[in-house]
Amino acid sequence: MQNDPMILDTLILGAGAAGLMCAAHAGPGTLVVDHAKSPGEKIRISGGGRCNFTNMYAGPDNYLSANPHFCKSAMARYSQWDFIALVDKHRIAWHEKTLGQLFCDGSAKQIVAMLVEELKAAGADLWVQTSVEAVSREGDGFHVRLKRDGTPVTVHCRNLVLATGGKSIPKMGATGLAYDLAHQFDLPVTDTRPALVPFTFSDARFKDLSGVALPARLSNARKSFDEALLFTHRGLSGPSVLQLSSYWREGESVSANLIPEMDLFGALRDQRQKGGGKDLKTELARHLPARLVDHITPLWGLKGRLADQSDTALQALCEKLSAWELTPSGTEGYRTAEVTLGGIDTEALSSKDMQAKSVPGLFAIGEAVDVTGWLGGFNFQWAWASGHAAGKAI
């Protein structure tokens, strides 16, 4: 015999950043479900365990989307300052690390606890270890078959919110459920790909440099980022690389400037004038990591004393260091990508409340939507803003 369905106002699929925020604003009659053991797992591990929860300079220019204007409305109505006020209300201490990036002084777990407390205070409910078996449209609402701790539960709800995020880090429970359900309801989904992800090189050419980091400017024809670059066993990582990966496509080269704010030519010339008896390599290692100098010495045929180098030779060397053309063979993929680029097409959604234009009562928020932020707290800010927009409308 079929049990009567549980009647709800709103069911939110996914207790991540966006789903928790949405529930806190949707209030009584709302249930959030998640197949993970605990809510907000990505929040918990984010920012090295301290959660880079927003960015002081967050604005529409920090996001990629087929429609760059889409995020404006929700972000204006729930800004970084609103989230900071919430963090302050919960007496969570925080600090700016760099470039407007705000982190907890203590632990990212405080942000998860804060969101769960807000959700409970608003009268919403949270079920973890609950899988989504099937979703169908029934009249003006939705029928959803769930399995909670192995027990089947059927829910009927007026509003259904897709908040299951993107495909990055499947090991942490990421699935394509939001995209599958979007397809089921005929909502278009733009191409998705891993973003904020390290570059790989099939010949492992930087193996000897693994662990070397330095300030750099990484560019391609579309974008340029001035942040740290890190050589890894398999390729390149660090903030400048992760940022540019969102603007990179297979087969393209990137240009690395390893002396972005240094007048290396002037420094070497001055040193040469003072005598320049030391090896060029030794002089270079005063300005660049020694292992990097070891790597480029045979690669670029550097030899001799500084005194032996002509202006032209020094200039050519500095030009190479400021525009090192590299063609990654790929990226580390969803295994380590911080986010998924692309997602549910914003054309299908209202920018005011994230509701599907063609399916009243169906909402999509957070990373599942085709709005992808830069590294630095921007993705959480989008999760908070879009979750708030849907929650308020519900």
CB atoms within 10 A of CB 337: 24
**Is 293 or 375 the residue whose CB approaches ligand FDA more closely?**
375
| Comparison of 216 and 365: residue with beta carbon closer to ligand FDA | 365
How far CA 32 is from CA of 19, 42, 157, 383, in Å, comes to 7, 16, 12, 15
Instruction: Give the nearest distance from C-beta 290 to ligand FDA in angstroms.
Output: 31
User: What whole-number distance in Å separates Cα of residue 211 and Cα of residue 189?
Assistant: 38
Which residue, judged by CB position, is nearest to ligand FDA in the bound state? 16
The answer for 211, left when phi > 0, alpha when psi is -120 to 50, beta otherwise, is left
- Closer CB to ligand FDA, 177 or 256, in the complex: 177
- Distance in Å, CB of 244 to ligand FDA, minimum: 17
CB 394 within 8 Å of CB 9:
yes
d(CA 190, CA 341): 9
- Alpha-helical (H) ranges within 35-175 are 41-45, 72-77, 80-89, 109-121
- Beta carbon of residue 327, minimum distance to ligand FDA (angstroms, whole number): 26
Question: Looking at residue 360, what DSSP letter applies?
Answer: T
89: which strand partners?
none
DSSP reduced 3-state for 142: strand
- Tell me the C-alpha distance between 48 and 104, whole Å: 11
Cα(277)–Cα(41) distance, rounded to whole angstroms? 57
| Minimum gap (Å) between residue 228 Cβ and ligand FDA | 16
Please, which residue, 15 or 296, has the CB nearer to ligand FDA?
15
- Looking at the Cβ atoms of 164 and 237, the one nearer to ligand FDA is 164
Q: Which is nearer to ligand FDA, 163 or 389 (CB)?
A: 163
Q: Which is nearer to ligand FDA, 13 or 116 (CB)?
A: 13
* Contact residues: ligand FDA, CB under 6 A: 13-19, 34-36, 41-42, 45-47, 51-52, 131-132, 163-165, 168-169, 173-175, 177, 338-339, 366-368, 377-380, 383
Question: Across-strand partners of 11?
Answer: 31, 160
Minimum separation from the CB atom of position 41 to ligand FDA (A): 6
Question: In this complex, which beta carbon is closest to ligand FDA, that of residue 199 or of residue 382?
Answer: 382
324: helix, coil or strand? strand
Q: Which is nearer to ligand FDA, 145 or 207 (CB)?
A: 145
Q: How far is the CB of 126 from ligand FDA (least distance, A)?
A: 11
Helix ranges restricted to H, the chain:
17-26, 41-45, 72-77, 80-89, 109-121, 177-184, 239-245, 264-273, 280-284, 290-299, 311-322, 378-393
Minimum separation from the CB atom of position 55 to ligand FDA (A): 8
User: Closest distance between ligand FDA and the C-beta of residue 21, in Å?
Assistant: 8
Smallest distance, ligand FDA to C-beta of residue 347, A: 19
Q: What is d(CA 356, CA 301) in angstroms, rounded to the nearest whole number?
A: 60
Contact 212, 296 (CB under 8 A): no
The H or E element containing residue 127 is strand 125-127
Minimum Å gap between C-beta 42 and ligand FDA is: 4
Nearer to ligand FDA, 200 or 340 (CB): 340
Q: Which is nearer to ligand FDA, 15 or 362 (CB)?
A: 15
| The token pair that represents 213 in the structure block | 């980091």
Buried residues in 259-290 as b, exposed as e (16+ CB within 10 A): bbebebbebbbebbeeebebbbbebbbeebbe
Nearest distance, CB of residue 16 and ligand FDA, angstroms: 2
